[in-house]
Amino acid sequence: MPEMDIPKLHEFLAQEFPQVADDVRVEELSDESITVRLRVAERHLRPGGTLGGPAMFLLADVAAYCLILSRIGWRPLAVTTNAGIDFLRKPAADSHLLCEATILKMGRALVVVEARLFSEGVRDLVARANLTYSLPPEGQTPEVL
Amino acid sequence: MPEMDIPKLHEFLAQEFPQVADDVRVEELSDESITVRLRVAERHLRPGGTLGGPAMFLLADVAAYCLILSRIGWRPLAVTTNAGIDFLRKPAADSHLLCEATILKMGRALVVVEARLFSEGVRDLVARANLTYSLPPEGQTPEVL
Amino acid sequence: MPEMDIPKLHEFLAQEFPQVADDVRVEELSDESITVRLRVAERHLRPGGTLGGPAMFLLADVAAYCLILSRIGWRPLAVTTNAGIDFLRKPAADSHLLCEATILKMGRALVVVEARLFSEGVRDLVARANLTYSLPPEGQTPEVL
Amino acid sequence: MPEMDIPKLHEFLAQEFPQVADDVRVEELSDESITVRLRVAERHLRPGGTLGGPAMFLLADVAAYCLILSRIGWRPLAVTTNAGIDFLRKPAADSHLLCEATILKMGRALVVVEARLFSEGVRDLVARANLTYSLPPEGQTPEVL
């Protein structure tokens, strides 16, 4: 049973990420994975109607962050230390973007998450990312951003 | 002599990245490197006043993109294929973020750029990133995003 | 039907990678994925009996390379342009290492492969990697290593 | 003053990396950076005389590892958690490979190192890498490889 369920995660997003809370929505949540939707809004698009890399990075980061919080509870101290992303295909122009994130390793100090992004209803991957988060010892402040 | 100078790059940003054009400014430009400033606005901040990873990724991507365009001219087809970023230190709370990007390789088909982010007036690195862009053959559409 | 089957890949390894050909073996091959075994030899081990990061990187690279060749045929020009790897867990001391590699994108010019490494008989991932290869246009020499 | 000087690092390499100790040599060492040479031997080469990606990865890893040890002392527990590498140019055929590694962040728990590889006597970069190492708390075993 997760420490934070979907409504709790939405509450967290509204408070900690007010700029994006209206655009992202947690669709599914299990112990090992999460699915998060990015409602593609005008401001995420480049001229021509494609979604830019930074918006995809944002979605992967939010999904991974929510997945970790669902496991460890509301702890805004977890910080990204490293991320890598391959952009594979152009997302479908008028579709929402979905991100499926999975925990690869839940360590004492580091959590590694894998994220796969695709356009709703399209099977081919749009992007894949790996993200590492540092969990500071209880009661300590994080040493990295 | 660059194909696009600083005023031309600002024109490009206003047209292609209207969402961020007000926040970023090219400060310096040479054949091999560029410095871009992110005026840290309220909407880039997390509660507590720190700047999030996605905003840093955005800055690195915009800086690298402008650097490449300054070399090859206005060609909105160049696309990011891969990026990696290490988040090293918490940025200073009330400072603008600066990104220095350098071309590591300017190939026929691929361009590799390195970016270093720091808070204005602080020497220690906040983050470093590597970004690869694909240059489609003249007259062809890009195969990746 | 692959352009090169398993015996053909072993022939390629013996010729192009004589240093490792005795240690690696292609176990399974399909259109989208490959499984390659690294027989863990004394010279891959660090004192204490653990396998080092470079040996794992080597295995991921060989597996990805063979997978691509099985699709495009014997073409020793394909070159790695970028790779990222997360080391997740210590491999089991006396076990062979297996690598499952999958093609994420087979483009005209770039191929992106994902690799997962684990110790034989153990479910938890030891490492995961992403690798990008550049395919030079037919008849041209590659521009990167 | 480093915790381990160059002769001490060679002693470490001979003991912990006997397979490569004959091929690598620490050339320069300061508080923040190290230069390590890979004597290019027959067994590092692919047919055609080029050096493969795994050999470059190995050199970057050994250089970063030695740099960290020179700062924290002989502590074989430090482990690589993440690495990324861009392969930029074909190394010169008959030249040794040099790696300059620099510490980007020396944290309590994580160390981030940047490495630049080039052929001796050639200015253009052959590859660049980023590597992260986890430092287990004193007296504890590392949680990752």
Q: What is the 3-state secondary structure (H, E, C) of chain B?
A: CCCCCHHHHHHHHHHHCCCCCCCEEEEEECCCEEEEEECCCHHHECCCCCECHHHHHHHHHHHHHHHHHHHHCCCCCCEEEEEEEEECCCCCCCCCEEEEEEEEEECCCEEEEEEEEEECCCCCCCEEEEEEEECCCCCCCCCCC
Q: Which residues of C106-134 are buried (b: 16+ CB within 10 A; e: fewer)?
A: ebebbbbbbbbbbbeeeeebbbbbbbbbb
Give dist(CA B52, CA B90) in Å, integer.
Answer: 9
Q: Read off the pLDDT of each residue in C70-92 and give the average, rounded to a whole number.
A: 88
- List CB contacts (< 8 A) between B104 and chain D: 86, 88, 125, 128
User: Residue B115 forms beta bridges with which residues?
Assistant: B101, B129
Contact D35, D27 (CB under 8 A): yes
CB-based contact, C105 to chain B, within 8 Å: yes
Give the least confident one: A78-92, B41-55, B110-124.
B41-55
- Chain-wide mean pLDDT for chain A? 87
Per-residue pLDDT, C108:
85
CB-based contact, D107 to chain A, within 8 Å: yes
Q: Read off the pLDDT of each residue in C9-35 and give the average, rounded to a whole number.
A: 91
Q: Which residue of C has its CA nearest to D141?
A: C90
Q: Read off the pLDDT of each residue in A43-72 and give the average, rounded to a whole number.
A: 85
User: Rg of chain D over CA atoms, in angstroms?
Assistant: 15
Q: Read off the pLDDT of each residue in C90-98 and give the average, rounded to a whole number.
A: 88
* B-to-D residue pairs, Cβ atoms closer than 8 angstroms: 32
Phi and psi at D81, nearest 5°, equal -110, -30
In percent, the amount of chain C with pLDDT more than 70 equals 85
Phi and psi at C6, nearest 5°, equal -60, -50
Phi and psi at A138, nearest 5°, equal -45, 130
Point out the residue among B58, B61, B87 whose CB comes nearest to the CB of A145: B87
H or E element that contains C69: helix C53-72
Give the model confidence (pLDDT) of D62-89 as tens digits.
999 999 999 998 875 668 999 999 999 9
Structure tokens given for D113? 């190192």
pLDDT value at C34 more than 80: yes
- List CB contacts (< 8 A) between D105 and chain A: 144
Q: Which stretches of chain A are DSSP H helices?
A: 6-16, 53-72
Neighbours of A47 (CB within 10 A): 10
Kindly report the pTM of this predicted structure: 0.92
Per-residue pLDDT, B82:
97
Give the least confident one: B14-18, B31-35, B38-42, C109-113.
B38-42
Phi and psi at D12, nearest 5°, equal -60, -50
Per-residue pLDDT, B138:
61
Q: Read off the pLDDT of each residue in C12-36 and give the average, rounded to a whole number.
A: 91
CB-based contact, A132 to chain C, within 8 Å: yes
pLDDT value at C144 more than 50: no
CB contact under 8 A, D144 and A105: yes
pLDDT value at D43 more than 70: no
Contact A9, A69 (CB under 8 A): yes
pLDDT value at A61 more than 50: yes
Contact A38, A99 (CB under 8 A): yes
pLDDT band at B16 (very low <50, low <70, confident <90, very high): confident
Q: Which residue of D has its CA nearest to A137?
A: D109
Give the least confident one: A83-97, B10-24, D47-61.
D47-61
Give dist(CA D51, CA D56) in Å, integer.
Answer: 8
pLDDT value at A118 more than 50: yes
Give the model confidence (pLDDT) of C101-143 as tens digits.
999 999 988 999 999 999 999 989 999 999 999 987 665 554 4
pLDDT value at D106 more than 60: yes
DSSP labels, C77-126: T-EEEEEEEEE-SPPPTTS-EEEEEEEEEE-SSEEEEEEEEEETT--S-S
CB contact under 8 A, C134 and B110: yes
pLDDT value at C1 more than 80: no
Structure tokens given for C95? 């076990």
Q: Which chains touch B (3 or more CB pairs under 8 A)?
A: A, C, D
- List CB contacts (< 8 A) between C24 and chain D: none
pLDDT value at A78 more than 80: no
pLDDT value at D104 more than 70: yes
Give the model confidence (pLDDT) of B68-125 as tens digits.
999 998 875 668 999 999 999 999 877 899 999 999 999 988 999 999 999 999 989 9
Per-residue pLDDT, D49:
62
Counting beta carbons within 10 angstroms of the beta carbon of residue C101, is it exposed (0 to 12), middle (13 to 18) or buried (19 or more)? buried
Point out the residue among C84, C107, C134 whose CB comes nearest to the CB of B143: C107
CB contact under 8 A, D104 and B125: yes
More confident residue, A118 or A136: A118
More confident residue, C88 or D145: C88
pLDDT band at D130 (very low <50, low <70, confident <90, very high): very high
CB-based contact, B122 to chain D, within 8 Å: no
Point out the residue among B107, B132, B144 whose CB comes nearest to the CB of C107: B144
Q: Tokens 């891969």 sit at which residue?
A: B82
Per-residue pLDDT, C21:
86
Structure tokens given for D45? 């080469």
Give dist(CA C34, CA C2) in Å, integer.
Answer: 11
CB-based contact, D102 to chain B, within 8 Å: no
- List CB contacts (< 8 A) between D110 and chain A: 81, 134, 143-144
Give dist(CA A11, CA A26) in Å, integer.
Answer: 11
User: Residue C112 forms beta bridges with which residues?
Assistant: C105, C132
HEC letters along A23-44: CEEEEEECCCEEEEEECCCHHH
Give dist(CA C67, CA D65) in Å, integer.
Answer: 31
Per-residue pLDDT, D140:
56
Structure tokens given for D81? 């958690």
Top-confidence range, A16-30, B36-50, B131-145, D65-79: A16-30
Instruction: Please compute, for residue A11, the number of CA atoms within 13 A of its CA located in the half-sphere on the CB side.
Output: 9
More confident residue, D12 or D138: D12
In percent, the amount of chain C with pLDDT more than 90 equals 59
CB contact under 8 A, D112 and B84: no
Contact D144, A132 (CB under 8 A): no
D57 SS3 class: helix
Point out the residue among D47, D53, D126 whose CB comes nearest to the CB of C83: D53
Residues 6+ apart with CB under 8 A from A112: A103, A104, A105, A130, A131, A132, C86, C88
Q: Which residue of D has its CA nearest to C126?
A: D145
CB-based contact, D90 to chain B, within 8 Å: no
pLDDT value at C77 more than 90: no
Q: Read off the pLDDT of each residue in D1-28 and give the average, rounded to a whole number.
A: 89
CB contact under 8 A, C81 and D76: no
Per-residue pLDDT, A89:
93
Give dist(CA D139, CA D145) in Å, integer.
Answer: 16
Q: Which residues of A62-76 are buried (b: 16+ CB within 10 A; e: fewer)?
A: bbbbbbbbbebeeee
pLDDT band at A3 (very low <50, low <70, confident <90, very high): confident
* A105–chain C nearest CA distance, Å: 6
pLDDT band at A100 (very low <50, low <70, confident <90, very high): very high
CB contact under 8 A, B85 and A83: yes
